[in-house]
Amino acid sequence: MEFDLHMALVILAAAAATFATRIGGYILITRMKSIPPRMEAALNAVPAAVLTTLVAPAFFIGGWESKLALIVALFIGLRFSHTWMLVAAWIVVMTWRHSIGA
Amino acid sequence: MNRADFVEGLRGGSAVALASAPFGALFGALAVENGMSLSEAAFMSATVYAGASQMVGIELFGHNVHAWLIVLSILAVNFRHVLYSAALARYIGHFTPVQKFFTFFLLVDPQFAEAVKRGESGRQLTFAWYFGFAIIIYIPWVLISVAGGMLGGFIGDPKAIGLDILLPAYFLGIVLGFRKRDNFLPVALVSAVASVLAYRYVGSPWHVSLGAAVGILLAAVLPLPPQEADLEADALKSEVHEV
């Protein structure tokens, strides 16, 4: 089984970065009494901002079946769990590609 | 270690383990699809141990991106954990340094949510409970990543079986999980537009950092909400079944 040293080092660096975020708040909070409100607002926006950048271009460059699948998944996601979003998106894409034609 | 607490933790965590299993398998399959070996995928699950950022990692690995940018993107996705460990601080003061190390290493979203819930209930948050809850999620996560990778190896063209839509749909789900937060809509819209523009005119993978930076800056300059946001309640509201 191949185990690329370069890739392993990148993964380790990613693990260290992740651990840093998981201990960082503890270190900060035990040193300071409160987080400035604007910094907190910025921190709060981090996950939505980052993850949106992974969806939007995929929607933009994807074919019509991908666009439709993501729109359907969006509406499903407002009501139901993640799993159903994946199922719905997958059904849309598969139906389109295999019956309507790619 | 308190045996009863440990068992109670195992019981609570097993539900999370079940809920996150499909995502572990998905990670493994997509990792192999993006050129990772099984051992590398297992290594990533075991050391990074953060579902969403692992997905981001393999997505970028597949695009031949600079290593530092992959690490930076993973750091950005996991930044929310800073808030978790800050909010958890008051409950784990009595842990030993070694226990704290494991506490933070295993601090995934549902782990945080349940730990705070337990701490708030007035019962002492014991390391036995925390570790039991964590380990029953961690071990299946790593094993199921491998299983997913083995299945993924048999998959030919990912488009033919619709695998390519799963990652964006998965990320969309996580984005939606944050929709109750202040400024969610403006932040998401601005990041979406900025990332598409950056993708078009600057190129991948810069769309990730550029798009995110615009959304985060917007959140910092928008008028602050009238009430102090409650960190814990906020985090509890977000996806609880994510690893």
Residues B82, A17: C-beta atoms closer than 8 Å: no
pLDDT in tens, A6-65: 889 999 999 999 999 999 989 988 887 677 888 778 877 877 888 898 899 999 999 999
Q: What region does B162 belong to: left with phi over 0, alpha with psi -120 to 50, or beta?
A: left
Closest chain A residue to B65 measured between Cα atoms?
A10
Minimum-distance CB partner of B75 among A21, A37, A41: A21
Burial of A12 per CB tally in 10 Å (0-12, 13-18, 19+): middle
Closest chain A residue to B51 measured between Cα atoms?
A18
Burial of B155 per CB tally in 10 Å (0-12, 13-18, 19+): middle
Task: Compute the distance between CA of residue B222 and CA of residue B81 in angstroms, rounded to an integer.
Answer: 23
The structural domains of chain A, with segments of one domain joined by +, span: 1-32, 36-101
* Chain A contacts in chain B segment 127-156 (CB below 8 A): none
Question: What pLDDT is stored for residue B184 in this prediction?
Answer: 92
CA-angle at B24, arms to B151 and B39, nearest 5°: 65
pLDDT in tens, B36-50: 999 999 999 999 999
With H, G, I as helix, E, B as strand and everything else as coil, classify residue B70. helix
- With 0.80 as the threshold, say if the pTM is over it: no
pLDDT in tens, B121-176: 888 899 999 999 999 999 999 999 999 999 876 766 767 778 788 878 888 987 89
Secondary structure element (H or E) that encloses residue A6, with its range? helix A5-29
The answer on pLDDT for B31 being more than 50 is: yes
